[in-house]
Amino acid sequence: MRAPLTAGILARAAFSCLLVLCIFTPHARADQPMDIKKVLILFSLEGWSAPANRVIYNGAKTVFDQSPRQDIVLFGDNLDLPFVTGEAENRSLAEFFQKKYARENIHVVVPVGLAALGFVLRYRDMMFPGRPIVFCGYPVYELHRLDRASDITGVAVGVDIAGTIGLAWDLQPGLRRLAVVAGTGPLDRYLTSLTREIFQKDFQRQLEWIDLTGLHMHELLERVSSLPDSTAVLYLNIQDDSGRKVATAEAMQQVSKLANAPLYNFWDTALGYGSVGGRMTAMDAYGRQAAAIVLRVLSGEKAASIKPVVMRDSQAMFDWRELKRWKIDESALPPGSIVRFKETSFWENYRWWVVGVFLFIGLQTLLIAQLLNNLNKRKRSEEEISSLRQQLAHVSRVSTVGELGQNLAHEINQPLAAIMANAEAARQLLAGEPPDLKEASEALDDIVADNKRAQEVIRRIRNLVKNTPSVPTRVDLSRVAADAMKVVQADAAAKRVAIQLDLEPGLPPVHGDEVQLQQVALNLLANAMEAVSQNQFPPRLVRVKTGRDGEGSISLWVSDTGAGVDRQAAERLFEPFFTTKPQGLGLGLSISRTIVEAHGGSLLVASNIDKGARFCCRLPVVAA
Amino acid sequence: MNPESGAEVFVVDDDPSVQRALRRLLTTNGLPARVFCSAKEFLEQGASVPAVGCLVLDVQMPGLSGLDLQAELQQRGMRLPIVFITGQATVPMSVQAMKQGAVDFLQKPFDGQTLIATIRKAIARSREQAAAAHECQDLEQRFESLSLREREVLRLVVKGLLNKQIAFELGIVEKTVKVHRARVMDKMQADSLAELVRMAETLRLPLCSSSVISSLE
């Protein structure tokens, strides 16, 4: 008595533990045997149906994958049923499958198609005893033959043969004949008889039936290539070439290739193998619907209590390439038609690439235009600056000449005075008794010489005052210095300034504007003279020197004995509007430096060791 | 016959072509000219300056300017009239020149005839000055020949005193005064009292040496 009680208590405790475990581990652990539900999809045949098989299988798998259930394992297999078989062969095939899946303990069987369901039903007790069957793709017209009580349900489909023939009628005006192509397989024969029924019922009067069923492939190909006018080919199905199995997709392609009339079909998986189109049923919907029913069965519903789903919806679908081939206008298609395999134009294919590339090119063009515009603007403003600089230089020259004006007047008055005196003398010499012709002639010679001298002075002034665009030439720096010296010499005399020239003859020329360089020399000289004229005691001396200054350069040095330049002022000396003179504008040196730098040279100031400042204008010589 | 005879014109100008032109113009007008290119050269070489003539000076010259030369000559007591010529005249410059006794201040370029006329005027002035100087020298010699007493009598006579008053002043008899007076008139070659007074005035001019003046006191 005692022992069974203990055992009972232990058993109860163990159960409680298990319960607790179950409560606390809602998800089964991997190492624990899980209650896995196995679903087997069985196909009838390989070959033509292969694409259809794949689509159905994928449709079902998608549904299982998306369902919250994680315990479903999907198997797929092919019965590969022979066409003409005896009971013995069928039985051994069934035995083979029974053995194959004996250990798997399949929960639900999904036979696809007419033949597969027939086979499974026939050997059900052997292969999958007591298992519910969810069929897929069974013809809706055969539904009444099924014994629903035997735990069976599924997806019944109705291919839209009538709709497809009607489509051909609509698309081919003046259609008179319908060539019906089919093999001798079970499905082929079933579809043939179905079609014949429909034809007789709806199209007998309008169309002539051309029977292309059960022919050898070579015969069939010959016939379809020589069809009379106004014919449409209705390709039902070919599973075999007179008993030999064929790859159905390839058979359809072959037929379509040689046919001289458009070929219609009603399975969407056939689209792309030579069919122009038809009212098609979507094969992946078969798979999805079947999977949905399987899920209901797995969750406990009795298969017998689930009403079979009937799918007879069809969709007008077309192969664009075939439409082109048969010159069927897309606008003639019924509204809502789906056109596949459309060869999209380059524009359609690469629209965004094209748009992108053009956008890029456009932007780049804009950018380039903008840059060019900027370049132009910059060039223009550089030209403006250059012009302004030239005008400023001119103004500065004019003002320099203005400052020197009185003394320049002296320069001109000197020869004029000589001319007046000579003219008066000549007049008297000629009026004399006898006239002194020799002396008069000499006087006239002197007049001419003095006239030239005055002209020369005027030329120099005009050179400085004129405002012509700079014309770069080869310039002799020593000559420039000598000319500048001549311009200021009267001023120098007035200011009691001595100018000492030390000009090296035969210097290599510099490339530049003679007038501008002369302006620099003049400015340096005028500054130096101004500086030394402040001296209360001699020497009031300005030294002007030219000579070579290192490799490829020559210099003009203007040195004075003035007060010199202090370090602070030296730094600011070349700034515009900086001046140490009470009446200076402060532009002379600034302009001079601009000119020298525009000539590729430099203008610097240094202090003399003894007294005063020394300016050095250094210029590159013309390369030999 | 020629009023410029013996007169000489000195031209100082640093500009060679002006030198040549002026020399030609002056020579053509019968005015002997000597030309110098700087004030320094003139001072060194122009030592033998005649009594009658004139100087034509350029104002702007390197070294000593025309105005500097004018001042220097004044200091040396050389009294030739000066005509300035300049290429560039300023008002202060011309005022200074004229104040210092320049005859004229001509701006280049000037009319040749104007220059000649100015030079002639200068020479005329020179001649006058020379004549005045000559007369003064003559009077000084005559004055030198007077005895101390006679010079005293001359001073008082010119002052306008009567012989009686002079006798009283000098503490001599009137008759002796008369004798001195007659001698003074004779030695000074004065025909009348009025002329004597004029001579005395001439002798007091700054042209006369100060020693003579002081000896009169």
CATH architecture under which domain A2-157 falls:
3-Layer(aba) Sandwich (3.40)
Q: Does the CB of A611 have a partner CB in chain B at under 8 Å?
A: no
- B17 with A409: Cβ contact below 8 A: no
To the nearest whole Å, the CA of B26 is away from the closest chain A CA by 8
Residues A555 and A504: their CA atoms lie apart, in Å, by 10
**Residue A145 is encoded by which pair of tokens?**
């033959």
With an 8 Å Cβ cutoff, are A416 and B108 in contact? Answer: yes
Convert the pLDDT of each residue in A35-52 to its tens digit: 788 999 988 875 445 678
In B67-180, DSSP assigns E strands to 82-86, 104-107
CATH code given to domain A161-280+313-343: 3.40.50.2300
Q: How confident is the model at residue B32, as a pLDDT?
A: 87
CA distance linking residue B86 with residue A413, whole number of Å: 9
Percent of chain A with pLDDT over 90: 29
Peptide bond before A26: cis, by omega within 30 degrees of 0? no
> Are A2-157 and A161-280+313-343 equal in CATH topology?
yes
pLDDT reading at A212 higher than 80 = yes
- Counting as low any pLDDT under 70, the low residues of chain B are 1-5, 46-48, 204-217
Q: Which residues does residue A212 pair with via DSSP β-bridges, in sequence order?
A: A181
How confident is the model at residue A200, as a pLDDT? 92
**B24 with A449: Cβ contact below 8 A:** no
Domain ranges of chain A: 2-157, 161-280+313-343, 348-380, 404-467, 472-624
CA-based nearest distance A505→chain B, Å: 26
Interface touch B24/A443, C-beta < 8 Å: yes
What number of C-beta contacts closer than 8 Å exist between A and B?
91
User: How far, in Å, CA of A527 to CA of A412, rounded?
Assistant: 23
The ipTM of this complex is 0.72
Overall residue count recorded for chain A in this entry: 624
Lowest pLDDT segment from A295-299, A440-444, A468-472, B74-78: A468-472
pLDDT, tens only, A318-342: 998 999 899 888 888 898 899 888 8
Six token digits for residue A385:
């600056």
Highest mean pLDDT among A69-78, A442-451, B160-169: A442-451
Q: Which residue of B has its CA nearest to A419?
A: B21
| Beta-sheet strand order (sheet of B104-107) | B33-36, B8-12, B53-58, B82-86, B104-107
Checking if the pLDDT of A13 tops 50, the result is: no
Residue A431 phi, psi (nearest 5): -80, -10
Please report which helix (H) or strand (E) contains residue A527, including its range: helix A514-533
Q: How confident is the model at residue A624 (pLDDT cuts 50, 70, 90)?
A: low
Q: Across the interface, do A419 and B109 touch by the CB < 8 Å criterion?
A: yes
Q: A371 pLDDT exceeds 90?
A: yes
- Mutation site for A-interface testing, chosen from B84, B88, B93 by largest number of A Cβ within 10 Å: B88
Collapsing DSSP to helix, strand or coil, A78 comes out as strand
Predicted TM-score of the model (pTM): 0.47
Q: What is the mean pLDDT of chain A?
A: 84
Is A418's CB within 8 Å of B20's CB?
yes
Q: Give the type of residue at A605.
A: V
- Residue B108: list chain A partners with CB under 8 A: 410, 413-414, 416-417
3-state helix, strand, coil in chain A (%, to 5): 50, 20, 30
Q: Which of A421, A443, A493 sits opposite B60 (nearest CB)?
A: A493
* Cα torsion through A427, A429, A434, A439, rounded to 10: -130
Spatial CB neighbours of A232, under 8 Å, sequence gap ≥ 6: A165, A168, A169, A172, A175, A177, A178, A179, A261, A262, A263, A264
Residues of chain B contacting A432 with CB distance shorter than 8 Å: 28
Q: What is the pLDDT of residues A563-598, one digit of tens each?
A: 888 777 777 888 777 777 766 667 788 888 888 988
Query: Taking 70 as the threshold, does the pLDDT of residue A600 lie above it?
Result: yes
Q: Which of the residue ranges A265-269, A375-379, B127-131 has the most confident prediction, judged by mean pLDDT?
A: A375-379
Topology of the domain comprising A472-624: Heat Shock Protein 90 (3.30.565)
> A42 to each of A106, A133, A292, B114, how far by Cα in Å?
12, 11, 17, 145
CB–CB of B21 and A418 under 8 A? yes
Q: Angle, nearest 10°, between helix axes B163-170 and B148-159?
A: 130
Contact B15 A418 (CB under 8 A): yes
Inter-residue contact A182 to A188 (CB < 8 Å): yes
Sort out which chain B residues have CB atoms less than 8 A from A493's CB and list them. 60-62
